[in-house]
C-alpha cells in the first residue's frame, strides 16, 4: 500500500507540473489516494472540442499491477461510453492494461477515444447504432451534449489538489432560508400526485417530441414525469434540467447531484 501511495502521489504531482501544457489534471478527493478526479479537454476537430471532461478514478490496492477503474462524470454521447452510467469500454482498462501505464497516460487514452470511437465494440449500443447509420446526427448530438454538459467546466487549481470542483453551472439557483424554498415545499405538499408510484412512471405516456428530447439530452424520464405530475409542463422541466446540468442518480457523488428542491425552485422561478 505504501509503495502504491508513493507512486500515485508522484504521478499526481508530475501531472500537475505539466498541466499548463497538457491541460490534463489529476486531483485528490480529500486525503484518500484511492479516489481521484481527472480532467481533460475534448480533442480538437471533434464534436467534443471546447468541452472539459471529468472522470472519476478508482485506484486499486494492487495498482499498477491491476488496471485503474474509470468512469465519466461528465455526460458524454459516445459509442464506448454509457450515456446512462458513464461506464467506459476501453481495452487498457481491462485485458490490455500494463503496469507501465500511468494515471496521465490512461487519461490521454480516454481523450483519444473520444475522437476515435470503436462502434463495433460499444458500451452504448444505441449511440453506436446512430454513429454507424447517421454520422451527421451523431456529431450533432455529441456536440449538443458537449455544449450542455462539458462547456464552461471550472479549471482546477494546482495549488488545491484536494478541491476539484464539479462540473455544474455557476448560475444554478440556491436555496434560501425562506421565500422560494418555502413555496417549493408547499408546492410539493399541495400536489396530490407529487410522487407517482413506479408502475405509473412506467406507464405514463409522453409526447414523441418530449421522449426524443429526453433521449437526446440523456435526461431521467422518471424525473420529468415526477415534476410533470406537480403541474409543470414537460418542456419546462426539460429546459430547467438542462440549464441546471442535472446529473441522474447513477452519478455516485453527492457533490454533483442537484436536490429535487433545487430543481423545483428553478421551475417556480421560470414559470
Q: Are strands 52-58 and 69-72 parallel, antiparallel or unpaired?
A: antiparallel
- What's the pTM? 0.61
Helix spans in 23-145 (H): 103-115, 125-133, 135-145
Q: How far apart are the C-alpha atoms of 221 and 223, rounded to whole Å?
A: 5
Residue 203 burial (CB count, 10 A) = 8
Q: What 3-state DSSP class applies to 250? A: coil
Is residue 148 classed as helix, strand or coil in its secondary structure? Answer: helix
Q: Is 89 considered catalytic here? A: yes
How do residues 39-92 score in pLDDT, each as one tens digit?
999 999 999 999 999 999 999 999 999 999 999 999 999 999 999 899 999 999
Strands 69-72 and 32-41: unpaired
CATH of 2-150, one of 3.10.110.10, 3.30.420.40, 3.40.190.10, 3.40.50.40: 3.10.110.10
Domain ranges of the chain: 2-150, 180-270
pLDDT of residue 250: 57
Residue in 8, 57, 89, 267 annotated catalytic = 89
What pLDDT was estimated at residue 207?
A: 80
3-state secondary structure of 212: helix
Burial 73-96 (b: 16+ CB within 10 A, else e): bbbbbbbbbbbeebbbbbebbeee
Contact by Cβ (8 Å): 172, 247: no
Measure the CA–CA gap between 181 and 160, rounded to whole angstroms: 33
Work out the angle between the directed axes of helices 221-228 and 234-243 (0-180°, nearest 10).
130
Q: Which residues of the chain have pLDDT under 70?
A: 152-205, 247-257, 271
Report which DSSP code applies to 88.
Answer: B
Amino acid at each position: 500500500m505504501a509503495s502504491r501511495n508513493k507512486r500515485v502521489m508522484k504521478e499526481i504531482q508530475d501531472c500537475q507540473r505539466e498541466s499548463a501544457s497538457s491541460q490534463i489534471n489529476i486531483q485528490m478527493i480529500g486525503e484518500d489516494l484511492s479516489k481521484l478526479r481527472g480532467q481533460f479537454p475534448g480533442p480538437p476537430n471533434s464534436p467534443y472540442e471546447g468541452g472539459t471532461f471529468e472522470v472519476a478514478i478508482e485506484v486499486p490496492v494492487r495498482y499498477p499491477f491491476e488496471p485503474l477503474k474509470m468512469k465519466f462524470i461528465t455526460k458524454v454521447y459516445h459509442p464506448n461510453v454509457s450515456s446512462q452510467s458513464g461506464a467506459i469500454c476501453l481495452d487498457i482498462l481491462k485485458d490490455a492494461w500494463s503496469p507501465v501505464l500511468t494515471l496521465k497516460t490512461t487519461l490521454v487514452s480516454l481523450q483519444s477515444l473520444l475522437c476515435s470511437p470503436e462502434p463495433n465494440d460499444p458500451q452504448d449500443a444505441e449511440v453506436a447504432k446512430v454513429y454507424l447509420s447517421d454520422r451527421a446526427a451523431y456529431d450533432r448530438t455529441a456536440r449538443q451534449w458537449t455544449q450542455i454538459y462539458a462547456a464552461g467546466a471550472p479549471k482546477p487549481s494546482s495549488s488545491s489538489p484536494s478541491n476539484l470542483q464539479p462540473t455544474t453551472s455557476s448560475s444554478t439557483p440556491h436555496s434560501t432560508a425562506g421565500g422560494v424554498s418555502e413555496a417549493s415545499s408547499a408546492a410539493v405538499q399541495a400536489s396530490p400526485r407529487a410522487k407517482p408510484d413506479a408502475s405509473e412512471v412506467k406507464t405514463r405516456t409522453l409526447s414523441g417530441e418530449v421522449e426524443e428530447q429526453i433521449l437526446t439530452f440523456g435526461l431521467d424520464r422518471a424525473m420529468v414525469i415526477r415534476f410533470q405530475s406537480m403541474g409543470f409542463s414537460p418542456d419546462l422541466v426539460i429546459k430547467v434540467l438542462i440549464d441546471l446540468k442535472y446529473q441522474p442518480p447513477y452519478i455516485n457523488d453527492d457533490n454533483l447531484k442537484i436536490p429535487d428542491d433545487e430543481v423545483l425552485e428553478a421551475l417556480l422561478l421560470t414559470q
